[in-house]
Chain A
C-alpha cells in the first residue's frame, strides 16, 4: 500500500475538525441554532427548523451518512449510528440513516445504520431503532416496534392534541416497513 501524504493529511484534518465540532456540539447551547450549525459543519445533512438535544451523538466518523429533515427533533442523549466497523466502505453522498421531516426521536434513543424514520414518525424515549419506521407511526422498545399511528406530527399541536389523534395498534398489525 502506497503512503499518500496529502490524502492522509486531508483525512486527518477532516477527522480532527469532525471530532472537534462533535465535542462542541455535545454541550453547546442552541438546540435549534448553534448545535445544528456545528453538526452541519461536520457534514450532517440537516434541514430547516431541526432541533438537536444536548449530548446527542450523530455518527462520529462519517457524519455525511446522516440526513435529518425539516422540523425534525432529536431528543437529548440520542445516539445515531451511520456505520459499524466492517460495514461496506461509505462514500460522500450516501445516506445510511434518514430522518424525515417532522420526525421525533425521543430522549436516549439509539438509531442503528440503514434505517429511514418516516415523515412525522415518533420514536419513544429509550427505544432502539433497528428497522425503518413508516411515516406517522409511533414506535417503542428494544427493538422498537410500532405501537400507534399518529394523526398529526408531534409538535404539530399541543401534546394532548397529538395524543388525542393517536390510534393504538393492536399486536397483529404491529409490523414495520422492511
Chain B
C-alpha cells in the first residue's frame, strides 16, 4: 500500500509511463503543478480510472470535495491529498 505522496506519485508515473514516453516527457522532471489532464497523460475517462486506482491502492473511497477542483489532476496536490487521506485511515 502506498504510504506517502512520493509513493503515490511513483505509482502514477509507472502506470502512465507509456503516456509520458509518448509525449517525450521525463516524469522525474515534471513540475509539482504538472496537470495530467491538460498535459495529455490522461483523458476524461482516465481521471476516473486514476481515482479508482488510488482508492483501490489505499483500500478506501476518498471524498475529493475538500480538494480544489483545479488541483484534481495536478500531480503534486493530488498525490499529497491522497497520502493525507491514507494517513487519516491509518490513524483511525
* Chain B residues proximal to chain A, CB less than 8 Å: 37, 44-45, 47-49, 51-52, 55, 61, 64-65, 67, 69-70, 72-73
Contact = CB atoms under 8 A, between A and B. Distances in A.
Contacts of A151: 65
A124 B51 CA distance: 17
A163 B45 contact: no
Contact of B69 (A138, A140, A161): A161
Given A147-B48, A151-B65, 16 more contacts: A124-B44, A138-B48, A160-B37, A160-B72, A163-B44, A163-B47, A163-B51, A164-B64, A164-B65, A164-B67, A165-B64, A166-B47, A166-B48, A168-B48, A168-B49, A168-B55
Given A124-B45, A159-B44, A163-B44, A168 B69 contact: no
Interface in A127-178: 138, 140, 147-148, 151, 157-161, 163-168
A147 to B, nearest CB: 7
Between A124, A138, A151, A161, the greatest number of chain B beta carbons within 10 A of the residue's beta carbon is seen for A161
* Main secondary structure on A side of the interface with B: mixed
Contacts of B73: 160, 163
Interface residues of A, number: 17
Contacts of A138: 48
A140 B47 CA distance: 14
B48 A163 contact: yes
A158 B45 contact: no
Interface of A: 124, 138, 140, 147-148, 151, 157-161, 163-168
Contacts of B61: 167
A106 B65 CA distance: 25
28 contacts: A124-B44, A124-B45, A138-B48, A140-B45, A151-B65, A157-B69, A160-B70, A160-B72, A160-B73, A161-B69, A163-B47, A163-B48, A163-B72, A163-B73, A164-B64, A164-B65, A164-B67, A164-B69, A164-B72, A165-B64, A165-B65, A166-B47, A166-B48, A166-B51, A167-B61, A168-B49, A168-B51, A168-B52
Nearest to B47: A163
B62 to A, nearest CB: 9
A172 to B, nearest CB: 14
A167 to B, nearest CB: 7
Contacts of B45: 124, 140
